[in-house]
């Protein structure tokens, strides 16, 4: 139920049982996650009537329509939870649930609204309150982690940003120093995001093994082979993009 709850706050939608003709739905574009969503519904509610649209034209997003009575049950089960792009918030009971369920909640939202950047894992939402709740939940997990030293816990706490407004959205960033902790404790169910965090960690380790001259030579060699972007070079050799950008800037000064 926790995973369904978080998906409805992420790439899902819950519309009122009365007064709205819009169907509730789950819109994550990863096929595996949509199948997992349908499986979770079937486990909890049996053979429910669903419309799962997997093969659509490029003009329509793949999605799973959900019968309104199901979303009514989910919302009724967590009466103090809130849903909607700018209104979402976690139910209070979630903060007192076992560690495993807290982890499941964060992972589910990260699969929908999280992304792996070069230097942070970023949650983006229209709801400032939801991200503040997620931040509080992550801090709980950091302090409850028996495998982390006090120094590591303080480092993680400093690496967790406050919730910041960005245009019409809000964002919460987990700095790079939290990558290993996040992978060890939560990770992703989303296969592409799993690959991305593995790449970022490997790239950081690889970058540390190369000095500046070695990176400059590697970058020049790749340019001569026809690679054009810093991202292409970084991914080809598992090094961080910012260091490739540095090498490109240095090489450009030699041509002036």
| Chain-centroid distance, C-alpha 138 | 13
Q: Please name the CATH architecture into which domain 2-185 falls.
A: Roll (3.10)
Residue 137's pLDDT is: 96
Who's near 223: CB < 8 A, 6+ residues apart?
Answer: 233, 251
Domain chopping of the chain, boundaries:
2-185, 191-254
Q: Region 150-161: what's the mean pLDDT? A: 89
User: Residue 55's pLDDT band (boundaries 50, 70, 90)?
Assistant: very low
> Residue 188, Cβ neighbours under 10 Å: how many?
21
Q: How far apart are the first and last CA of the chain?
A: 61
Residue 222's pLDDT is: 82
DSSP symbols for 51-120? EEE-S--TTS--EEEE-HHHHHHHHHHSTT-B-STTT-B--GGGGGS-HHHHHHHHHHHHHHHEEE-SSE
CB 48 within 8 A of CB 70: yes
Residue 18's pLDDT is: 54
For all residues of the chain together, what is the average pLDDT?
86
User: Residue 14's pLDDT band (boundaries 50, 70, 90)?
Assistant: confident
Residue 71's pLDDT is: 83
How far apart CA 104 and CA 121 sit, in angstroms, is: 17
Q: Which regions of the chain does DSSP assign to beta strands (E)?
A: 12-13, 24-26, 51-53, 63-66, 114-116, 120-125, 164-166, 169-175
pLDDT in tens, 192-236: 999 999 988 888 877 767 788 888 888 888 888 886 788 888 877
Cα separation values, 128 from 74, 107, 134, 193, 231, Å: 22, 18, 10, 23, 31
Q: Region 64-68: what's the mean pLDDT? A: 83
Among 206, 154, 156, CA closest to 181: 156
Beta bridge partners of 121: 116, 174
Strand, helix or coil for residue 169? strand
């Amino acid at each position: 139920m926790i995973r369904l709850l978080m998906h409805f706050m992420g790439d899902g939608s819950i519309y009122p049982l009365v007064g709205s003709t819009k169907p509730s739905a789950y819109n994550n574009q990863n096929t595996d996650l949509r199948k997992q969503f349908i499986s979770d519904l079937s486990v909890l509610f049996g053979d429910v009537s669903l419309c799962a649209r997997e093969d659509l034209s490029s003009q329509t997003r793949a999605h799973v329509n959900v019968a309104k009575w199901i979303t009514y049950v989910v919302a009724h089960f967590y009466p103090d939870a809130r849903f909607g792009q700018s209104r979402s918030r976690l139910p209070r009971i979630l903060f007192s649930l076992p560690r495993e369920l807290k982890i499941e909640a964060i992972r589910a939202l990260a699969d929908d609204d999280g992304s792996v950047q070069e230097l942070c894992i970023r949650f983006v939402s229209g709801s400032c309150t939801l991200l503040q709740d997620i931040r509080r939940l992550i801090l709980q997990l950091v302090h409850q982690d028996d495998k982390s030293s006090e120094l590591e816990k303080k480092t993680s706490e400093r690496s967790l940003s406050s919730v910041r407004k960005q245009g019409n959205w809000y964002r919460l960033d987990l700095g790079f120093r939290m990558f290993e902790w996040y992978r060890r404790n939560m990770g992703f169910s989303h296969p592409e995001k799993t690959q991305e965090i593995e790449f970022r960690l490997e790239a950081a380790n690889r970058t540390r093994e190369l000095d500046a001259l070695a990176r400059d030579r590697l970058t020049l060699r790749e340019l001569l082979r026809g690679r054009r972007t810093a991202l292409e070079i970084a991914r080809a050799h598992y090094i961080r993009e910012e260091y490739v950008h540095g090498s490109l800037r240095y090489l450009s000064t030699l041509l002036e």
